[in-house]
């Protein structure tokens, strides 16, 4: 590789680092961040960090947070992409600063991934840069973090371009890049299931409309099949525990909503986005932002300059945006499998991605006319055009929220975890049989042969994937504990294993084998779950090593041809 190319790559990475820092500056400046799901997600980070501190790298059973009731959240909600946040929380003592470092890390990853895949489409490096910039500093990505604190969806969006490029590569001429589809979908599954669900539906629609006109159909089916197998193998670490619990007992649908309740009025949606001001109700604050909406409006004037990909992206973005804001359409789709997505505005992630492709081309066309000394300043000018409205938007959101919703819990420079049970959404992943027992569990009451005993905080001790209860019980007493019953839970007293049972109200019951000895309830992965962990980790390691090896071979061949 030439020295000039190395210098350009170093400068690009430095620029991406600066942009990643800029993304979190508003949080650090205001000294707080909050949102609808801040308690839910930050205490997930806290729980994982405590397990890491005690050298447990497979946390499932929540014993340090979420009320210490053994909530098996990580078997239902992907947690692997939270590891960087949790590791940083153990390294950096201040919770807000640690969180900001985690966000900056993922913005840096997102900028690199988006730039990499769009450079492969192929488009020019400058256009790929503008596309990555618009996508990562889009209004909807920021709303997911700054207003909703929908951390899973935020992380899912980081890997969205990777999955889309993988499908594009298979369908339109670069089949060797089929692993990108598997890696992208795997990382999305390990971040946010609903994003993966939406993407799977969209990919099926794309295949339905494009497959008949493709060449080499058999080869493309094989590549898609390989991607699916690699994706499954990569995500077994989550999929197997999820299926074990879901198939083991009944759970209710998480947060069911009427779809039309999440649809905005189209005109108001456009006006609010262009004004760059958060709306007054829960739906109006979920917008694409001025840059994305501006791209959709002015894109028609650049239509003749667009290639086929950009035209399809432009039309798709407008179509999906209109659909997102059509309440009648979503009302008709109630009681269908689409109700699982909960809110139609989740599709704004697709609008954002498609608009970023178009916006990158528009900026490239505009700046193409500049020559001479100004040409080197164009990336800086592009950054100002995209980032300035974004800074205005997030600052308004933070200031607006401080005044209008001061009742929301905040992550500040001081607090490290939350305690209000209302933000934990226990109803989502609590077994149906135990729904009526949540108050008993969260109050840490124990029932010994029918007698209710109130435990103090010191009598409920947290351990990795385990809770210790200092219960005054005699031998052969039937003890009902404040722990939700899930599969793969085990009870111990001293060195004796207890017969763990499910009580009639969905909690854990055991029969004491010793008098006045603590009772331990521990989650132990089954053999099939351990096998899934081994397969997933091995798959990631092997696939990454093969990719690095192939990349080195390709670069070696390229350098050899250059010398000739």
Calculate ∠ Cα 415-35-275, nearest 5°.
Answer: 135
Q: What is the pLDDT of residue 370?
A: 73
What φ, ψ does residue 277 adopt, rounded to 5°? -120, 130
Co-location of 362 and 487 in the same domain = no
**Cross-strand partners of 493:** 496
Same domain, 456 and 395: no
Q: Do 98 and 50 share a structural domain?
A: yes
Given a cut of 70, whether residue 558 has pLDDT beyond it is no
Q: Give a yes or no: residue 254 inside a domain.
A: yes
Taking the C-alpha atoms of residue 18 and residue 20, their distance in angstroms, rounded to an integer, is 5
Contact call for residues 333 and 260 (beta carbons, < 8 A): no
Contact 476, 496 (CB under 8 A): no
Q: Are 205 and 323 in contact (CB under 8 A)?
A: no
* Residue 94 within any structural domain of the chain: yes
Cα distance between residue 82 and residue 190, in whole Å? 9
* The CA-based dihedral angle spanning residues 161, 167, 173, 177, taken in that order and rounded to the nearest 10 degrees: 70
Based on the fold, state whether residues 314 and 456 are members of the same structural domain: no
User: 446 with 349, same domain?
Assistant: no
Sole residue written with tokens 């603590």: 518
Half-sphere exposure of 160 (CA within 13 A, CB side): 31
491 and 508 in contact (C-beta within 8 Å)?
yes
Alpha-carbon distances of 209 from 321, 339, 388, rounded to whole Å? 20, 24, 38
Q: Over the stretch 227-252, which tens digit does the pLDDT of each residue have?
A: 999 999 999 999 999 999 999 999 98
Same domain, 451 and 402: no
The arithmetic mean of pLDDT across residues 179-197, rounded, is: 97
413 close to 230: Cβ distance less than 8 angstroms: no
Instruction: State pLDDT tens for residues 1-12.
Output: 567 777 889 999
Cα–Cα distance measured from residue 536 to residue 531, given in angstroms and rounded to the nearest whole number: 9
Task: In whole angstroms, give the CA distance from residue 494 to residue 510.
Answer: 14
DSSP state of 481: E
pTM to 2 decimals? 0.93
102, 213: one domain: yes
Residue 86 lies in a domain: yes
Let me know whether 294 and 442 are in one domain: no
Q: Is the dihedral of CA 90, 81, 351, 341 positive or negative?
A: negative
Among 39-53, 303-317, 326-340, 395-409, name the one with the lowest average pLDDT.
Answer: 395-409
How many domains is the chain built from?
A: 2
Contacts of 28 (CB under 8 A, 6+ apart): 96, 97, 100
- What is d(CA 411, CA 418) in angstroms, rounded to the nearest whole number? 9
CB–CB of 45/414 below 8 Å?
A: no
Q: Which residues pair with 410 in a beta bridge?
A: 34
**Selection from 510, 453, 507 nearest residue 476 by Cα:** 510
pLDDT for the residue 64: 94
**Element containing residue 385 per DSSP (H, E):** helix 378-404
pLDDT exceeds cutoff 60 at 307: yes
What phi-psi label fits residue 70: left (phi over 0), alpha (psi between -120 and 50 degrees) or beta? left
Task: Return the exposure string of 273-283: e unless at least 16 CB atoms fall within 10 Å of the residue's CB, then b.
Answer: beebbbbeeeb
Q: What pLDDT is stored for residue 132 in this prediction?
A: 97
| C-alpha triplet 450, 456, 458: angle, nearest 5° | 130
Is residue 71, in this structure, part of any structural domain at all?
yes
Asked if 8 and 139 sit in the same domain, the reply is: yes
Using one digit for the tens of pLDDT, what is the confidence trace for 134-145?
Answer: 999 999 999 899
Write out pLDDT tens, residues 360-395. 999 999 888 776 666 777 788 889 999 999 999 888
- Res 403 pLDDT > 50: no
pLDDT band with cut points at 50, 70 and 90 for residue 217? confident
List phi, psi (to 5°) of 494: 65, -130
Domain assignment of residue 425, yes or no: no
Q: Residue 497's domain is classified under what CATH number?
A: 2.40.30
Query: Quick one: which of 375, 360, 389 has its CA closest to 117?
Result: 360
454 within some domain: yes
pLDDT over 60 (residue 283): no
Distance CA 523, CA 75 (A): 11
Residue finishing a domain among 346, 381, 412:
412
CB 520 within 8 A of CB 492: yes
Q: Is residue 387 part of a domain?
A: yes
CA separation for the pair 249, 247 (Å, rounded): 6
The pLDDT tens digits for 489-529 are 999 998 899 999 999 999 999 999 988 899 999 999 999 99
Q: Is residue 204 domain-shared with residue 305, that is, in the same domain?
A: yes
| Lowest mean per-residue pLDDT among 253-267, 328-342, 515-529 | 253-267
Structure tokens belonging to residue 453 = 């005993």
Asked if residue 539 lies in contact with residue 231, where contact means CB atoms within 8 angstroms, the answer is: no
Residues 405 and 439 in one domain: no
Q: Say whether both 379 and 446 belong to one domain.
A: no
- pLDDT tens across 78-134, in order? 999 999 999 999 999 899 999 999 999 999 999 999 999 999 987 888 999 999 999
Domain that includes residue 217, residue range: 1-412
Q: Which residue has the tokens 């006045």?
A: 516
Is 538 contained in some domain? no
């Amino acid at each position: 590789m030439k020295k000039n190319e190395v210098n350009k790559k170093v400068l690009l990475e430095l620029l991406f680092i600066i942009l990643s820092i800029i993304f979190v500056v508003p949080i650090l400046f205001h000294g707080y961040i909050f949102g609808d799901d801040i308690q839910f997600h930050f205490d997930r980070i806290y729980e994982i960090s405590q397990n890491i501190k005690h050298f447990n790298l497979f946390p499932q059973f929540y014993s340090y947070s979420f009320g210490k009731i053994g909530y098996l959240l990580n078997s239902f909600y992907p947690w692997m992409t939270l590891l960087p946040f949790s590791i940083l929380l153990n390294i950096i003592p201040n919770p807000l600063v640690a969180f900001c470092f985690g966000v900056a890390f993922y913005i840096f990853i997102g900028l690199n991934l988006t730039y990499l895949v769009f450079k492969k489409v192929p488009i020019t490096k400058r256009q790929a840069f503008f596309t990555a910039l618009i996508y990562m500093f889009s209004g909807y990505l920021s709303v997911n973090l700054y207003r909703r604190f929908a951390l899973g969806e935020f992380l899912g969006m980081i890997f969205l371009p990777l999955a889309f490029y993988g499908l594009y590569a298979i369908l339109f001429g670069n089949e060797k890049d089929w692993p990108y589809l598997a890696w992208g979908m795997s990382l999305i599954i390990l971040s946010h299931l609903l994003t993966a669900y939406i993407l799977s539906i969209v990919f099926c629609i794309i295949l339905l409309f494009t497959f008949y006109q493709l060449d080499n159909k058999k080869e493309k089916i094989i590549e898609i099949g390989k991607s699916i197998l690699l994706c499954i193998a990569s995500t077994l670490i989550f999929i197997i525990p999820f299926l074990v619990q879901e198939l083991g007992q009944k759970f209710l649908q998480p947060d069911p909503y009427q779809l039309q309740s999440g649809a905005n009025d189209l005109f108001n949606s456009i006006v609010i986005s262009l004004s760059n001001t958060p709306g007054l109700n829960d739906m109006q604050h979920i917008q694409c932002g001025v840059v994305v909406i501006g791209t959709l409006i002015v894109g028609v004037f650049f239509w003749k300059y667009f290639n086929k990909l950009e035209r399809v992206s432009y039309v798709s973005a407008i179509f999906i945006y209109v659909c997102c804001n059509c309440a009648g359409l979503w009302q008709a789709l109630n009681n269908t499998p689409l109700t699982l997505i909960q809110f139609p505005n989740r599709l704004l992630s697709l609008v954002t991605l498609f608009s970023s492709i178009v916006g990158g081309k528009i900026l490239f066309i505009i700046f193409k006319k500049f020559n001479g000394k100004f040409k080197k300043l164009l990336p800086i000018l592009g950054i100002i055009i995209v980032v300035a409205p974004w800074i205005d938007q997030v600052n308004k959101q933070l200031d607006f929220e401080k005044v209008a919703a001061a009742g929301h819990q905040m992550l500040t420079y001081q607090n490290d975890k939350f305690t209000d049970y209302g933000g934990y959404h226990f109803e989502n992943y609590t077994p149906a049989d135990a729904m009526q027992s949540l108050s008993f569990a969260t109050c840490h009451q124990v029932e010994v042969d029918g007698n209710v005993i109130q435990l103090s905080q010191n009598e409920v001790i947290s351990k990795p994937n385990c809770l210790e209860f200092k219960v005054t019980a005699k031998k052969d007493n039937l003890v009902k504990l404040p722990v939700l019953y899930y599969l793969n839970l085990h009870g111990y007293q001293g060195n004796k294993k207890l017969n763990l049972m499910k009580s009639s109200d969905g909690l854990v019951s055991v029969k004491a084998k010793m008098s006045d000895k603590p009772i331990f309830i521990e989650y132990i992965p089954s053999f099939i779950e351990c096998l899934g962990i081994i397969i997933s980790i091995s798959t990631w390691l092997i696939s990454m090593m093969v990719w690095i090896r192939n990349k080195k071979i390709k670069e070696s061949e390229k350098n050899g041809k250059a010398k000739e």
